[in-house]
């Protein structure tokens, strides 16, 4: 009966099928016709999908649609993006799953067209070739996983407090709330990529009565709010499975070229991506960076599992401070997202090869997990609240993070010149606790400088690395972890140079601070307590506190 009602409605109506997307090029109009199924684009770029009545009946009887049903050739040469977008638009209207045609190879050229996914999608064994050598719009995603639910502006909320438990709002159900204060600047970057910071932003989950989920607490005080909205969360879980994707990399000029998206952009809560593979070919002497082939933003409860990704080649350009910098290019991007897990994920290239940039970046997120992953790095640029790396191996870029809450590393192997790098460009801040247990740290003998484009020897490998000279305003008070707990850690510092004195807990985070005369304009709050239990080294050298004994003279070291 439900199908009959839907069918009759569509028989007389042409409906614009689009989800929570921002670009007009993604508009699709779907209609029913007594004639054959036809897909075409009008002069304004709108995709028109006319579906034959008998095909509608057949698709419902079958229980899914395929790209070939809408004209995709799957021959690896013909551009199939319109047929792919058409299939998803119709499936979204009819609440039908989408399945790629078995063994097909879909070519996706540079045309500006995005396929909006709102139903379960099985890419199966099909291959997708995304050709970025001639792209109309670098910012347009190939796929957007979108909610049919629409965000709503909230009124009557003029301020928020850190750890506030409830906001005065009634909502239709659990929702993502995003708040910002454009009058306060946070994350004022330091170094070669210096900038003026960004507006204070927070994202958290509330229920229908406005109760804040204790797992996603409010982390800032908002004296005023310039914008606040709520995005309802889908109750059902959407599944995306399979697919073998290959990107033919762009050949843009590295200097000044904007970031490319050309990705799968997940903007819906409760999503599982399972079994996808992504490879990259055609990287040359220059190219624009990528935001992340799997991009997760404005979403909660997303799991990416059994996925194979690829580290992108590192290109260099002149940064905002007028010196050469590496342009970070990513295959994983997480922004304004909560409860995101990567499970059993790996990459195609060597996780210790510095020719390829670290595979992941994140901003404004909470509760990110790596579990059973082998990837070149974990990274949190503009803050993460709570992060966990377990049962994993991280390569030459290791763990890079700033943020708050608890950073946990357990049952993992970490490569690189340091175990945890508290990013110096954002003040080397972690306001909370670090827990390291049952882990092996394999410190590199050399550290590669992307600015100077050469290797430097690592004299004293450190567990906690960073830099903050106390003279830069980052838009917040910077903290070292208040408490660090290290249990069952083995440091494989074999084959070090002659004269090696052993590893340190803390790198020299401020070489200028050597006595009481040093003044910090913006004080850097130092660690109170370090707990050590069962820490061993391959060299037999003991773990020392730091080469800068004065800076860490008041840290309490507790051992069993």
Q: Are residues 265 and 311 in the same domain?
A: yes
CA 39 to mean position of chain CA atoms: 34
> Among 399, 423, 441, where does a domain finish?
399
Percent with pLDDT over 70 in the chain: 94
Tell me if the pTM is above 0.85: yes
Q: Are residues 283 and 331 in the same domain?
A: yes
Residue 498 pLDDT greater than 80, yes or no:
yes
> Among 214, 232, 250, where does a domain finish?
232
pLDDT digits (tens, 9 = 90+) for 167-194: 999 999 999 999 999 999 999 999 888 8
Q: Are residues 382 and 263 in the same domain?
A: yes
Whole-number pLDDT of residue 526: 97
Is 334 part of any domain? yes
pLDDT digits (tens, 9 = 90+) for 344-401: 999 999 999 999 999 999 999 999 999 999 999 999 999 999 999 999 999 999 999 9
Whole-number pLDDT of residue 303: 98
Which residues have a Cβ under 8 Å from the Cβ of 462 and sit 6 or more positions away?
A: 417, 418, 419, 503, 504, 505, 506, 507, 546
pLDDT digits (tens, 9 = 90+) for 199-234: 999 999 999 999 999 999 999 999 999 999 999 999
Q: Are residues 437 and 457 in the same domain?
A: yes
Whole-number pLDDT of residue 451: 45
> Among 104, 16, 40, 95, which Cα is nearest to 67's?
104
Residue 17 pLDDT greater than 50, yes or no:
no
Whole-number pLDDT of residue 453: 52
pLDDT digits (tens, 9 = 90+) for 102-135: 999 999 999 999 999 999 999 999 999 999 999 9
- Pairing type for strands 454-457 and 446-449 reads antiparallel
Is 107 part of any domain? no
Confidence of residue 326 (pLDDT cuts 50, 70, 90): confident
> Among 178, 200, 232, where does a domain finish?
232
Q: Are residues 344 and 281 in the same domain?
A: yes
**Please, is 55 exposed, middle or buried when counting C-beta atoms within 10 Å of its C-beta (0-12, 13-18, 19+)?**
middle
Is 105 part of any domain? no
Q: Are residues 162 and 65 in the same domain?
A: no
Whole-number pLDDT of residue 462: 95
497 is written with which tokens?
């140079």
Residue 6 pLDDT greater than 50, yes or no:
no
Q: Are residues 271 and 322 in the same domain?
A: yes
Is 518 part of any domain? yes
Q: Are residues 392 and 460 in the same domain?
A: no
E strands of 149-258, at which residues? 152-153, 175-186, 198-206, 227-232, 238-248
Number of domains in the chain: 4
Q: Are residues 289 and 346 in the same domain?
A: yes
Whole-number pLDDT of residue 481: 98
Is 126 part of any domain? no
Q: Are residues 420 and 496 in the same domain?
A: yes
Mean pLDDT for 28-57 is: 93
Q: Are residues 79 and 31 in the same domain?
A: yes
Q: Are residues 409 and 308 in the same domain?
A: no
Owning domain of residue 490: 402-560
Is 365 part of any domain? yes
């Amino acid at each position: 009966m439900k199908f009959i009602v839907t069918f009759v409605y569509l028989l007389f109506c042409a409906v614009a099928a689009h989800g929570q997307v921002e670009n007009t090029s993604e508009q699709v109009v779907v209609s029913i016709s007594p004639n054959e199924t036809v897909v075409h684009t009008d002069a304004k770029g709108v995709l028109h999908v006319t579906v034959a009545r008998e095909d509608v009946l057949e698709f419902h009887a079958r229980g899914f649609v395929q790209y070939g049903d809408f004209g995709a050739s799957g021959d690896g040469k013909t551009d199939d993006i319109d047929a792919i977008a058409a299939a998803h638009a119709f499936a979204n209207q009819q609440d039908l799953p989408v399945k790629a045609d078995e063994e097909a190879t879909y070519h996706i050229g540079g045309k500006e067209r995005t396929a909006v996914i709102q139903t379960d999608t099985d890419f199966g064994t099909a291959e997708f070739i995304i050709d970025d050598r001639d792209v109309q719009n670098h910012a347009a995603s190939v796929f957007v996983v979108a909610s049919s639910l629409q965000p709503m502006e909230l009124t009557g909320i003029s301020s928020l407090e850190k750890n506030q438990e409830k906001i005065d709002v009634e909502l239709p159900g659990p929702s993502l709330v995003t708040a910002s204060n454009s009058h306060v600047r946070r994350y004022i970057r330091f170094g070669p990529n210096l900038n003026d910071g960004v507006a204070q932003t927070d994202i958290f989950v509330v229920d229908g009565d406005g109760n804040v989920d204790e797992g996603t607490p409010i982390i800032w005080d908002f004296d005023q709010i310039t914008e606040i909205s709520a995005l309802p969360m889908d109750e059902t879980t959407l599944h995306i499975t399979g697919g073998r994707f290959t990107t033919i990399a762009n050949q843009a000029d590295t200097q000044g070229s904007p970031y490319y998206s050309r990705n799968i952009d997940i903007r819906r809560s409760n999503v599982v991506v399972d079994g996808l593979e992504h490879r990259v070919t055609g990287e040359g002497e220059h190219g624009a960076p990528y935001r992340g082939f799997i991009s997760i933003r404005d979403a909660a409860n997303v799991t990416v599992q059994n996925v194979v990704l690829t580290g992108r080649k590192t290109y260099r350009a002149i940064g905002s401070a007028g010196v050469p910098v590496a342009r970070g290019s990513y295959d994983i991007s997480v922004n304004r997202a909560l409860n995101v897990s990567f499970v059993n994920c790996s990459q195609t290239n060597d996780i210790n090869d510095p020719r390829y940039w670290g595979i992941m970046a994140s901003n404004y997120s909470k509760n990110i997990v790596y579990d059973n992953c082998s990837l070149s790095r974990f990274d949190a640029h503009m803050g993460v609240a709570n992060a966990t790396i377990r049962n994993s191996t991280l390569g030459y870029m290791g763990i890079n993070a700033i943020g708050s809450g608890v950073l946990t590393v357990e049952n993992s192997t970490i490569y690189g010149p340091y175990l945890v790098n508290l990013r110096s460009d954002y003040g080397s801040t972690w306001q909370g606790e670090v827990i390291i247990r049952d882990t092996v740290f394999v410190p590199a003998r050399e550290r590669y400088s992307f600015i100077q484009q050469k290797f430097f020897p690592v004299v004293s490998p450190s567990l906690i690395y960073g830099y903050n000279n106390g003279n830069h305003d980052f838009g917040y008070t910077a903290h070292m972890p208040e408490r660090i707990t290290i249990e069952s850690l083995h440091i494989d510092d074999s084959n070090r140079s002659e004269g090696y004195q052993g590893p340190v807990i803390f790198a020299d985070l401020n070489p200028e601070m050597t006595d009481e005369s040093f003044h910090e304009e913006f004080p850097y709050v130092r660690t109170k307590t370090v707990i050590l239990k069962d820490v061993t080294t391959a060299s037999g050298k003991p773990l020392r506190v730091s080469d800068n004994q004065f800076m860490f003279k008041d840290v309490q070291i507790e051992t069993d």
